[in-house]
Amino acid sequence: MTSRSAPLDSLAAGTFRRDVKIIGLIGSAHCLSHFFQLVLPPLFPLLKADFGVTYTTLGALVSVFYVASGLCQFGAGFAVDRFGARPVLLGGIGLLAGGALVAGLMPDVFWLFPLAFVMGMGNGVFHPADFAVLNANVAPRRLGHAYSTHGIGGSLGYAMAPVVSYGLGSMIGWRHALVVLGAVGLVALAALATQRRALASRAHDAVVPHHTLAGSLELFRQKAIVLCFLYFAVLTLATIAIQTFAGTALNAAYGVPMAIATSALTAYLLGSTTGILAGGFLAAHTAHHDRVAASGLFAGGALMLLVGAVPAVASLAIALFAVTGFALGATGPSRDMIVRGATPPGASGRVYGFVYSGLDLGSTIAPVAVGTLLDRGEPRAVFVAVAVCMFLAIGTVLQVRRSAAVRAVAAGAE
């Protein structure tokens, strides 16, 4: 018996090691993506002093970045399905890192706008490329953990960027900081470029699919796919509102000191990272991903509604935001499993590129919408609006599951 099981054990161990390697590589790539998303904003005070421009001008750089990211994310899905994930992923890292490096050499702030667009294009490739690699290579039983690691990598990138970027900029100047960080990103690109087989999204001898425009439009009209897009757009309205203005809203609504309000945001981000880790185990051990996502969204929405409606809970802001972050983070891996279940074979790049462009749409709209509420003197309405978005997201995620089930039944009948 030992002689028969040994080869099977060896094969299982080899598959496990390969899965771990691929998951680690994709998690690292996603970390780079999120890091370079925030590499410029922490340097805004230094850019403002150097160029003598307003924060409105500098803030427009962020909008340009996300507009480009959304446009490219949609197109990157087609490129992933046509050419494979590896060249698209490496190209995205090159645009992000190279754009940051060149930005450090610019003599005027307005030259940063085309570079922000270029960096946004690079950022747009990660979701379709990352998920195409994971779905093609990782064993189904480990996909929940794979999606969890992917999300944690992004959270770590967000957490590191402000500290590293501003810290380095304060020490050596913003120009040198961008050049150094861009160079480090290019070194990471060179390292990832050596992992040819691990980053493949289809077999070497696989037939390259031919995608027609009519076929793709028909794909994007499927109810489950449209609902996934709406889910990401609506949920991102809530999460970007929290990340961008929660501290300001707490201070304006209830007089919470900025130190505590900022700590509440930090607690939210840490809670989210912990929740993503827990969500990986949930996604790996349940088939009811819609229930997991709906439960987390309901808990997060209820807590934010409580913050907006009951002034007395402001003293518990840090704890409430930590739990909210955990609840939302725990939905991440199940959310990605839901998208996978709604994706037809051979369309992973296009579907993920389309539905995740909802993230960029929400990221573009949320700062303006929430800023308007604050300018009108309605800081408590910010939390109510966040809660409403989470409750709306529950409806979309439950409908995705039902639509995918109906489609599967119809396909079986044919």
> What pLDDT digit, counting tens, does each position of 19-48 carry?
888 989 999 999 999 899 888 888 888 888
Residues 68-86 have a mean pLDDT of 83
- 326 pLDDT band (50/70/90 cuts)? very high
pLDDT digit string, tens, across residues 368-412: 788 788 888 888 999 999 999 999 999 888 887 666 554 443 444
Average pLDDT estimate for 110-126: 92
Cα(288)–Cα(283) distance, integer angstroms? 8
Rounded-to-integer distance, Cα 362 and Cα 160, Å = 23
* 219/333 same-domain check: yes
Flag whether 7 is in a domain.
Answer: no
Tell me if 135 is assigned to some domain.
yes
Specify the residue for token string 């939905």: 331
- DSSP letter for 221, please: T
pLDDT at residue 192 above 50?
yes
Q: Are 280 and 192 contained in the same domain?
A: no
Angular region, 344: left φ>0, alpha ψ -120 to 50, beta rest: beta
Q: Indicate if 20 and 138 belong to the same structural domain.
A: yes
Diameter of the chain measured on Cα atoms: 76
Within-domain flag for 136: yes
The percent of residues above 90 in pLDDT, for the chain, comes to 26
* Helix (H) or strand (E) run with residue 108 in it: none
Question: What's the rounded Cα separation, in Å, for the pair 281 and 330?
Answer: 9
| Tokens of residue 383, six digits | 């939390």
Looking at residue 12, what is its pLDDT? Answer: 57
Task: Return the pLDDT at 196.
Answer: 76
Residue at which a domain ends, from 134, 166, 200: 200
For residues 316 and 342, membership in a common domain is answered with yes
Both 87 and 148 in one domain: the answer is yes
pLDDT mean across residues, the chain: 82
31/126 same-domain check: yes
Structure-model confidence comparison of residues 273 and 199, the more confident one: 273
pLDDT, position 323: 95
pLDDT of 413 strictly over 50: no
- 233 with 369, same domain: the answer is yes
Gyration radius of the chain over CA positions: 22
Task: Domain count for the chain, please give it.
Answer: 2
What is the domain range of residue 170?
12-200
Is residue 6 domain-resident? Answer: no
More confident residue, 44 or 179: 179
Q: What is the pLDDT of residue 209?
A: 53
Same domain, 279 and 384: yes
The yes-or-no verdict on residue 287 having pLDDT over 90 is no
Q: What is the mean pLDDT of residues 105-109?
A: 89
d(CA 380, CA 397): 27
Stronger pLDDT, 120 or 261, i.e. the higher one: 120
Instruction: Considering only residues 365 and 124, tell me which one the structure prediction assigns the higher pLDDT.
Output: 124
pLDDT at residue 205, rounded to an integer: 39
Tokens encoding 398: 């439950």
For residue 398, the model assigns a pLDDT of 84
CB 191 within 8 A of CB 70: no
**Res 105: pLDDT:** 93
The residue from 200, 222, 244 where one domain ends is 200
Residues 216 and 196 in one domain: no
**Element of type H or E holding 215:** helix 213-220
| 5, part of any domain | no
Q: Which CATH number covers residue 17?
A: 1.20.1250.20
Give me 16's structure tokens. 């496990």
341 domain residue, yes or no: yes
In 223-316, where does DSSP find H-type helix? 223-254, 258-284, 289-309
pLDDT reported for residue 93: 93
Model confidence pLDDT, tens digit, residues 259-281: 888 788 878 888 888 998 888 88
Say whether both 176 and 273 belong to one domain: no
Reported as a pLDDT band with limits 50, 70 and 90, residue 354 is confident
Q: pLDDT at residue 4 above 80?
A: no
Mean pLDDT within 251-259: 87
Residues 291 and 369 in one domain: yes
**Domain-located, residue 205:** no
Same domain, 322 and 272: yes
The DSSP-derived string for 337-377 is HHHHHHPPTT-HHHHHHHHHHHHHHHHHHHHHHHHHHHHTT
CA distances from 394 to 169, 221, 281, 374, 387 (A): 41, 21, 21, 26, 11
* End residue of a domain, out of 200, 220, 242: 200
Cβ-based neighbours of 139, under 8 Å, separated by 6 or more:
15, 19
| CA 398/CA 60 separation, integer angstroms | 35
pLDDT at 301: 94
Q: Does the pLDDT at position 161 exceed 50?
A: yes
Determine the pLDDT at residue 391. Answer: 95
Q: What is the dihedral of CA 359, 181, 96, 245, to 10 degrees?
A: 20
Residue 4 lies in a domain: no
Alpha helices by DSSP H, 124-173:
126-137, 143-172
